[in-house]
Structure 1
Amino acid sequence: MWVGTRRQFNGLILGGLAMVMITKNFSVDEMMCHCGCGEDSMDMDFMDILQNIREDMNRPLKISSGVRCAEHNSVVSSTGIFGPHVPRKEGTMASDILISGADALRLVDIARKHGISGVGISQRGPHAKRFIHIDTLSDEKHPRPTMWSY
C-alpha cells in the first residue's frame, strides 16, 4: 500500500516481492539507474509533478529512464556526467517516458501545465521506442524553458 506522504515509503507486495513506491503509481525500481549500481535518488517535488501528470493523463506512464548515475549517463548520453538524469543535491529531476503519437502531444501539453521546463522529443522509429523526456532543471548548464528533438 502506498502511504500518501513524501517522506514515508511503504512496500507493496507483488508475487511475494516487496515493491517500494515513491508515489501512488511510481516505484523505486522503475526510477533507478539501469546499470545496476542501485542509484535511485529522485527529487520528491519532481516525483509529485510526475504523479500529477500521470493522473491528468488518466493512464499509466511507462518510464524508460529516471535516475542515471554519472558513469552510466556518460555511456548512454551525450550530456556526460552532468546530464539531467544525474542526481543533484535534491535528486534527479528528469524522466524519459515511452509514449508516441497523439498521446505524446497530450503528454507535452499536460507536462507544461505542471511546470515542466525541459522537453525532449524522440518520435522517430518504432513506436515502442519513441519517448518524451521531461525535466524541471534550471541552472546555467541547462537554461530553461526549452524544447529539443533527438
Structure 2
Amino acid sequence: MRAAYRTNLLAILELQLCAARNRTSTWDPWVPGPHYKWRTIINEKNEYLTDNFTLAEISCPCGNCEARIDNRHLFKIQALRDIIGKPFKVNSWFRCLTYNRTLAGSSEQSKHVFGKATDISTRGWPDDEIMNLISKAYLLGFKGIGIYPTFVHLDSREGEFRMWVGE
C-alpha cells in the first residue's frame, strides 16, 4: 500500500514538473549541475514560480543576492502544498552564505545555502496537522526533517534520511 501511495505522489510531482515546464521558459528543472541552480532573471518579486510560491518567498531575506533554487526541491514543496491542501507560510528558503553566517547556530553547509531547504511555519497548527505535514513530506522523499516548536524544516539532502527535534 505504501509503495503504491508513494508512486502516486511521485506521479503528481511529475505532472507538476510537466505543467511548469510548459508554462514558462525561464528555467529548466533538469539543468545539470551539483545544485540544479536556477539563476533569477525575473525582476518582479511577486512573480509566481509555481502555483503557490513567489520569488519573494523563496529569496534570501538580505535582498541583495540572487536566489539559487534546487528546482526538484521547489516542486516537491509545491507537491506537498497540493497534497496538504492548506496554505502554509515559508519562514526561510534560500539564504546566501553572508546572511546565513549572521544566524546563530547556522552551518556553512546549510541546505538553505544551496536552495535545498525550506522552513515551514506551524505556529498555531494542531498536532495532527503537523504530523500530517511530516508524514506527507517523508512520503514525498524529503531526506531531512527537523521538528521545531514553531516550524518544520524540510530539506532535499543526499544520502541517508535524517530526522531531528530542535529547540
TM range (shorter): 0.7 to 0.9
1:115 pairs with 2:141: yes
Given that residues 70 and 80 in structure 1 are in contact (C-alpha distance below 8 angstroms), is that contact kept between their aligned partners in structure 2? no
- Which residue of 19, 23, 26 maps to 1:4? 19
Listed as ranges, the gaps of 5+ residues in structure 2 are 1-17, 27-43
Alpha-carbon distance in structure 2 between the residues aligned to 1:81 and 1:37: 19
Specify the SS of the correspondent of 1:76: coil
Which residue matches 1:96?
119
Q: Percent identity?
A: 27
Which residue matches 2:154?
134
Opposite residue 71 of structure 1, the aligned amino acid is: T
Opposite residue 20 of structure 2, the aligned amino acid is: T
Given that residues 68 and 94 in structure 2 are in contact (C-alpha distance below 8 angstroms), is that contact kept between their aligned partners in structure 1? yes
Matches within 5 A, 1:71-82: 71-82=98-109
1:65-113 alpha-carbon deviations (Å, 9 max, x no partner)? 00000111122152332211002xxxx1110000142221111000001
Matches within 5 A, 1:1-150: 4-6=19-21, 8=25, 19-87=46-114, 92-99=115-122, 100=125, 101-123=127-149, 130-138=150-158, 144-150=160-166
Specify the SS of the correspondent of 2:69: coil
Opposite residue 29 of structure 1, the aligned amino acid is: A
* TM-superposed deviation, 1:49: 0.5
Structure in which a larger fraction of residues adopt helix? 2
Give the TM-score, by structure 2 length.
0.69
Listed as ranges, the gaps of 5+ residues in structure 1 are 10-16, 124-129
Structure in which a larger fraction of residues adopt strand? 1
Cα RMSD (Å)? 2.0
Given that residues 80 and 137 in structure 2 are in contact (C-alpha distance below 8 angstroms), is that contact kept between their aligned partners in structure 1? yes
The alpha-carbon distance between structure 1 residues 28 and 114, as it changes in their structure 2 partners (threshold 3 A), is same
Alpha-carbon distance in structure 2 between the residues aligned to 1:50 and 1:135: 10
The alpha-carbon distance between structure 1 residues 98 and 132, as it changes in their structure 2 partners (threshold 3 A), is same
Give the TM-score, by structure 1 length.
0.77
The alpha-carbon distance between structure 1 residues 40 and 122, as it changes in their structure 2 partners (threshold 3 A), is same
